Structure 1
Amino acid sequence: MKSVLCVVAFSTLAVSSVIQQSPESRKPLVSSAALEHDITSKNLFKRAKQLYKIAELGVEEYGHPTRVIGSKGHVGTVDYVQNTLSKLAHYYDVSNQTFEAVTGNILNSSLTLGDDLLPASAMSLTPPTKDKAPVNGPLVLVANLGCDESDYPANTTGSIALISRGECPFGQKSANAGKAGALAAVVYNNIAGNLSGTLGQPEANHVATFGITLEEAQPYITDLKAGKDIPASAYIDAIVKVVATTNVMAQTRGGDQDNCVMLGGHSDSVTEGPGINDDGSGTIALLEIAVHLAKYKVNNCVRFAWWAAEEEGLLGSDYYVSQLSEEENLKIRLFMDYDMLASPNFAYQVYNATNAVNPVGSEELRDLYTDYYTAHGQNFTYIEFNGRSDYDAFIVAGIPAGGIATGAEGVKTEDEVALFGGTAGDWYDPCYHQLCDDLTNLAIDAWEFNSKLIAHSVATYAISFDGFPKRIKTPGVKRNKLRQSNYLYHGPDLVM
């Protein structure tokens, strides 16, 4: 009888040993040093070349490479991410979310005021002019900022309305112009610089809408105030449509499933180009890190996300967060946003996410980034945490967030040249939202360095949240203060 009991006991121990020595449990615990070592510029650029080939799938429909939502280039991007992750099904639970989003394509446009053909930009999600043909009428100056229907004079009917930027969204100005009978609208900037914005969610009263600079507008404003008549002609051929598009998520099977570090980048580009820096650099960095993380064990779960429709106004991340229950919301200890990591005229930029106006923990994440730059002898600069990328929905929902970037259409200063090199007076990314955002538009060394920093951020929190603030059940309270103050963006384009 004793011998039988001994055999049973031995068998139980053997089974227990097998369970404890599963393949996942035998993996080493992730470390920053190990995961950073796995990231190389060679592999990042190899994936960039694959992504550019995928963008070329958009040529047939758009006439050039693009990964805009609804295009074959974006469908191919989503497939590429999912296919890569499917080979790691033992390590990740991979899921997706399909949702509807509005996208647009401006095929052609022109604006003539008086005798001058202006270099105007048609606004994102603008409708076309009537019958997709030129419309002609007098230029009419709108009072105040065009935010109230009473700002539009009686002679707006049949005219092209000239409106100042400010106070309310561009979409509201366009709709008010349409209600007043305008054939088209031209919004001019109220500060120096170009004006490229979005009308946002389409509505019936929107009219074809352009953006111009204050310098371009000033002579016409002066003439109109002096009572002069200015003939105008506007033309936009554009398509606005609703498409189905997809977010992709991958979460480690291992680690504490109630305490997750989450990070994301967007998988789409603008219509105008292939988006190899914006945000191919983030898409690829996350995918490369996800592949190598599968070699290691984690204590806390890690959740990767590739958002769709960021360029249309953060639609994918907004949708994702809107679907979280309170319980699932609280499982996300922090969200890290990685959008544009390889700008050619780069600066190492850290979102200035303070706890004073954001969920507590955002500042601790900010400091992790700055500590890393400092420890590696690199300069950095703080940039506004103003809603331009996919972190926005998370901080509104009370989830600590932050991130790094290398710059978009902002102009590099002499002081920044002293810190990072490059060219003063040029954009950080001279090909931002353009066709030339291709394989030649990458600062490879900066991309590799920032990708290693992402690996460090993943490993740090995958190991432990010790010292990191616990989540509290008061989502969005502090963020509302920022929402109420000069909130110009929801996504990469100006909204007001």
Structure 2
Amino acid sequence: MRRLLLATVAVLALAAPAAAQDPQITAADVAPHLQALQGVASANGGNRAAGLPGANATADYIVTQLEQAGWQVRRQPVTFPYFDLRSPPRVHTLRPGRDVVAVRYSGAGDVTGRLRLVESEGCGRESFRAVRRGDVVLAPFAACTFSRLAATIKREGGAALLTIASEQSFPLTSVSFVPGLPIPVLGLSDPAARRLYASRRNRPVRVTVDATIAPRTADNVVAELPGTDGRSVFMAGGHLDSVIEGPGINDNASGVAALLEMGEKLAAAPRGRSTLRLGFWTAEEHGLFGSRHYVKTLDAAERKRTAGYLNLDMVGSPNAVPEIYSSRNKLSSALRKRIRGAGSTPFRRADSDHDAFRRAGIAVSGIYTGGLESKTREQRRRFGGRAGALRDRCYHRACDTADSASATVTARMAAAAAGAMAEVAR
């Protein structure tokens, strides 16, 4: 009990208002949103994935909440390539879902080839010189994109790629952001890869992926609260969709809940000089399509008018370590006043919706509380929780539910973000 109390005190100390006028947001404020979005997923096949009914219902919920709070709200349709896996992928006798998953945007095909192990984690042609025409390549998860890896293997004559994931990360290697990989690409758990290699080394293996890629449309939601002069805009946002594997409550109903509570509190507060805008992006899990589409629709004047963007993606991790994007600007400075001892996460990575804004020359910041990183002893001392445990073991899994995500952490991050937005808008 004492350990639990100390951990709770540490979590509550993650953030504190930097000024008396900062909005107050509690776990009791955000928990109903997390539960509502869990209900959306439960009513729609267990997920809120873009291109499926759960994402549409999520957008409906967001619109209703923001209109009730007094924001000017619009929906923005986004067409994106939807990967439709029509039947479970097959690799020899491995179990679909438990041992093997298809990488999103995998090439379709039914191929049989000699199993060829490539132990290098490189991505260039020199790593695949042993590959022969028609081989099914078994290789470790590499530090490059699936599109580059698949293209290299195809050039060397390979017919399919089986990439090996660690036990804790499987099936997280199942995401590619580039549509139309040139060969079948599948992710195998490490134990399954070992079993397959032991039984089929240099012997024929059959690989089957039955999938299509076709356009589908889903909606961004954009809301605005005019400032007293409106010459500049500060924006906060996060993606509204989940992966198809689960309800996505930390990733990213936590960001949605934080933004909705920010919206309610900021609408009730005195207006600042700058206009405030909230963005809820669709199809992030398919390749950042929603935020990229939004930024593309901004003309030069509107891009210049947008003074900053704050991204909220995974802000309710159960074993949280708060991190602020490593950018230097007004938003990041305002956040650091409000989140004690926060670490830094690289803001130049193209792994969330801030990237489109960064590429457009707009100042970006954001909050992230963790996924598959392990918490250190020092981080436990500062923030509570369990040292040596993953910050969110349910990342991209069916167990990313309202019971797993932390409403307390979400509320603290929401309060810090709301205070930062109010400060820069004054």
TM-score by length of 1: 0.72
> Aligned pair 1:403/2:366, yes or no?
yes
Offset, 1:422:
1.8
What is the SS of the residue equivalent to 2:397?
coil
**Which amino acid in 2 is paired with 1:300?**
S
- Show CA shifts across 1:46-100 (max 9, x none): 12222122122322xxxxx110001111000111111222335xx5332222121
2:76 to 80, 97, 111: 97
**Which amino acid in 2 is paired with 1:119?**
D
- Show CA shifts across 1:374-431 (max 9, x none): 3xxxx32222222221111111111111111110122222322222222233221111
- Matched residue, 1:468: none
Question: Any conservation in 1 of the 2:238–2:313 contact (CA below 8 Å)?
Answer: yes
Question: Any conservation in 2 of the 1:57–1:72 contact (CA below 8 Å)?
Answer: no
CA distance in 1, matches of 2:193, 2:42: 38
TM-score by length of 2: 0.83
CA distance in 1, matches of 2:119, 2:384: 45
- Matched residue, 1:155: 132
What is the SS of the residue equivalent to 1:343?
coil
2:220 to 244, 247, 270: 247
2:203 to 224, 230, 233: 230
CA distance in 2, matches of 1:441, 1:111: 32
State the superposition RMSD in angstroms.
3.4
2:23 to 10, 14, 36: 36
1:185 to 161, 164, 169: 161
> Aligned pair 1:126/2:113, yes or no?
no
1:65-76 → structure 2 map (5 Å cutoff): 65-76=46-57
Deviates more, 1:264-273 or 1:342-351: 342-351
CA distance in 2, matches of 1:161, 1:235: 14
1:369 to 310, 332, 335: 335
**Which amino acid in 2 is paired with 1:200?**
F
> Aligned pair 1:58/2:44, yes or no?
yes
Question: Any conservation in 1 of the 2:221–2:279 contact (CA below 8 Å)?
Answer: yes
1:380 to 320, 342, 346: 342
Structure 2: 5+ residue stretches without partners: 1-17
CA distance in 1, matches of 2:143, 2:399: 33
CA distance in 2, matches of 1:312, 1:287: 23
CA distance in 2, matches of 1:154, 1:214: 21
- Matched residue, 2:3: none
> Aligned pair 1:196/2:173, yes or no?
yes
CA distance in 1, matches of 2:60, 2:75: 11
Question: Any conservation in 2 of the 1:147–1:167 contact (CA below 8 Å)?
Answer: no
- Matched residue, 1:299: 273
What is the SS of the residue equivalent to 1:155?
coil
CA distance in 2, matches of 1:110, 1:287: 42
CA distance in 1, matches of 2:378, 2:192: 29
Change (3 A) 1:253 1:118: closer
Question: Any conservation in 1 of the 2:178–2:287 contact (CA below 8 Å)?
Answer: no
Offset, 1:236:
3.7
Question: Any conservation in 2 of the 1:126–1:240 contact (CA below 8 Å)?
Answer: no
- Matched residue, 1:480: none
- Show CA shifts across 1:197-254 (max 9, x none): 5333323x62221235789768999999xxx623323344545332101111111133
CA distance in 1, matches of 2:414, 2:169: 32
What is the SS of the residue equivalent to 1:278?
helix
**Which runs of at least 4 in structure 1 moved beyond 6 Å after TM superposition?**
213-224
- Matched residue, 2:289: 315
Structure 1: 5+ residue stretches without partners: 1-30, 60-64, 355-360, 464-496
Report the identity percentage: 28
Offset, 1:456:
0.5
Question: Any conservation in 2 of the 1:300–1:462 contact (CA below 8 Å)?
Answer: yes
> Aligned pair 1:427/2:383, yes or no?
no
Offset, 1:188:
4.3
CA distance in 2, matches of 1:382, 1:271: 29
2:231 to 258, 269, 273: 258
Q: How many residues align?
A: 403
- Matched residue, 1:351: 325
Offset, 1:340:
1.1
**Which amino acid in 1 is paired with 2:361?**
G
> Aligned pair 1:140/2:113, yes or no?
no
Deviates more, 1:402-411 or 1:100-109: 100-109
Question: Any conservation in 2 of the 1:67–1:73 contact (CA below 8 Å)?
Answer: yes
CA distance in 2, matches of 1:371, 1:395: 23
Change (3 A) 1:49 1:217: closer
CA distance in 2, matches of 1:68, 1:239: 17
Offset, 1:461:
1.4
- Matched residue, 2:424: 461
CA distance in 1, matches of 2:40, 2:72: 25
Change (3 A) 1:312 1:268: same
**Which amino acid in 2 is paired with 1:54?**
V
2:34 to 42, 48, 54: 48
CA distance in 2, matches of 1:125, 1:331: 36
1:269 to 226, 242, 250: 242
What is the SS of the residue equivalent to 1:305?
strand
**Which amino acid in 2 is paired with 1:352?**
S
